[in-house]
A and B are shown apart, each in its own frame.
Chain A
């Protein structure tokens, strides 16, 4: 690879999805970086890897995993780590991230991002797992806060405290998903601002924005579901504005994975984030 771009710029990026491969490499839209889901490239070739390598020549890359199951008590999957490690060598991503969640028990996978109980026991487990991953990959990763629809009675601390402690003790960075904070705040009745203000300024290396879906439970009560199937909601843009004030211009990804719109719609969402980033960049400078 010729001189891969190593650092994510403080701009907005978009996910590279199979439906957009051809359009993306032909039109080379003006976005700051691309994100790819690691597991989609675990096969060793074919069109997926071909197009990602083409795009990678011109864009910095954030490699985002959805299946490592960091919070599970199952042993970490060595084949999964092996393939991830090879992919990192091939693609030289600027950032590698996973989720603060679990998804498997006894080798059976939910292939979903299940929340952890926020206990001391879970905390030390996750910290040791992140450290194992750091050693295995010979680099540090970011952990992303997930959307959740349940909380455990035994949780002894709020999610933001758990996330900060994991980052502090393991040395991982934080991928702050502003939409997930908004969704979980609604679903569990906490204040999104309290979450934001608890996160140390220096820990946040990337931000995610996405669209959610409203799921009515009964009259007047709805649960927000993180579906990545819609434009970013106005209320989430507002929380993003506050996040930029706190964390400065952090590389920001627009996530859109289901009911995928044309590439141009995705790029337009990224521009919206870019214009907010520029304002904060100007302020910071």
Chain B
């Protein structure tokens, strides 16, 4: 008789197809029909079907682009390579963009991993909280001498997606309500830098210039205003800080500012 830890490991191995299930089948009360293997197969189906459905829910455009049969096949391989690691099904599937990148059968669709990245960003942004926007008045409280050291806090939903392909167009053309315009999307028409963010409960896509994207990504990673701006200027000497800052302030992307501990005492609260 196996103790509980071994019994659970044995059953999980059988369900995840790490074993043929002989050891797990031996744990079951013997029955003729359905056999122990058939009983395990019911659970195996439940596991794979519910995870495939979860992936389909997060990645409807990827599924539509490759077709249902291909998607199921890829999803099964994904589940085995990147099993669920959370009791919350909404956490499942985040490695699909990277997985598709290396997935040979999808190699003829080079934009597919980026479409997946866009869908994952949408999915995560959808469930995030929206915080009140930072007000300009709060910025003016910071002494001018310290402003270069400011750290900007972004909406928790903010995600960045960069692609060499027109992934937003592809995504939009594959929405259920999309009209078939009859025109085709040229993969050569150029890439996009996108900010995905929740605003008034809806998910918005905002196009960014490369320098703007560098600036925001640096801020999101905790860089100071000076560091992020240098990053942007390195990319594009014409980067216009004042306009860019005003644009994102005006659209509620920032939710707060802070200063490193050494400078904090100088900020009025």
A interface list, Cβ under 8 A from B: 39-40, 42-50, 66-69, 72-73, 77, 80, 102-112, 114, 116-117, 119, 121-122, 125, 149-155, 215, 217-218, 221, 223, 225
A44 contacts across to B, CB distance below 8 A: 127-129, 156
Distance from A70 Cβ to chain B, minimum over Cβ atoms (Å) = 10
| Residue pair A108, B11 in contact (C-beta under 8 Å) | no
| Residue pair B127, A108 in contact (C-beta under 8 Å) | no
| Residue pair B3, A121 in contact (C-beta under 8 Å) | yes
| Interface core residue of A122, A150, A215 (most chain B CB under 10 Å) | A150
At the interface, yes or no: B17 with Cβ under 8 Å from chain A?
A: no
Q: Compute how far the CA of A110 lies from the CA of B34 in the bound complex, rounded to whole angstroms.
A: 22
At the interface, yes or no: B160 with Cβ under 8 Å from chain A?
A: no
Distance from B158 Cβ to chain A, minimum over Cβ atoms (Å) = 13
At the interface, yes or no: B46 with Cβ under 8 Å from chain A?
A: yes
B interface list, Cβ under 8 A from A: 1-5, 7-9, 11-12, 15-16, 27-30, 33-34, 36, 38-40, 42-43, 46-47, 50-51, 54, 83-90, 92, 124-130, 156-157, 198, 201
| Residue pair A223, B4 in contact (C-beta under 8 Å) | no
| 11 residue pairs from A and B, CB less than 8 Å apart | A44-B128, A66-B87, A67-B88, A111-B47, A112-B43, A116-B4, A121-B3, A152-B27, A154-B1, A154-B2, A155-B29
A125 contacts across to B, CB distance below 8 A: 4
Q: Compute how far the CA of A42 lies from the CA of B124 in the bound complex, rounded to whole angstroms.
A: 11
| Interface core residue of B2, B8, B46 (most chain A CB under 10 Å) | B8
Distance from A127 Cβ to chain B, minimum over Cβ atoms (Å) = 13
Nearest neighbor of B10 in chain A, beta-carbon distance: A105
| Residue pair A80, B87 in contact (C-beta under 8 Å) | yes
| Residue pair B156, A109 in contact (C-beta under 8 Å) | no
| Interface core residue of A68, A69, A73, A110 (most chain B CB under 10 Å) | A110
13 more CB-based (< 8 A) A-B contacts, given A80-B87, A111-B54, A225-B42: A45-B127, A46-B198, A77-B87, A102-B8, A107-B85, A108-B83, A109-B83, A109-B85, A109-B86, A149-B42, A150-B40, A154-B1, A154-B27
| Residue pair B28, A119 in contact (C-beta under 8 Å) | no
| Residue pair B126, A67 in contact (C-beta under 8 Å) | no
| Residue pair B47, A112 in contact (C-beta under 8 Å) | yes
B2 contacts across to A, CB distance below 8 A: 154
A155 contacts across to B, CB distance below 8 A: 29
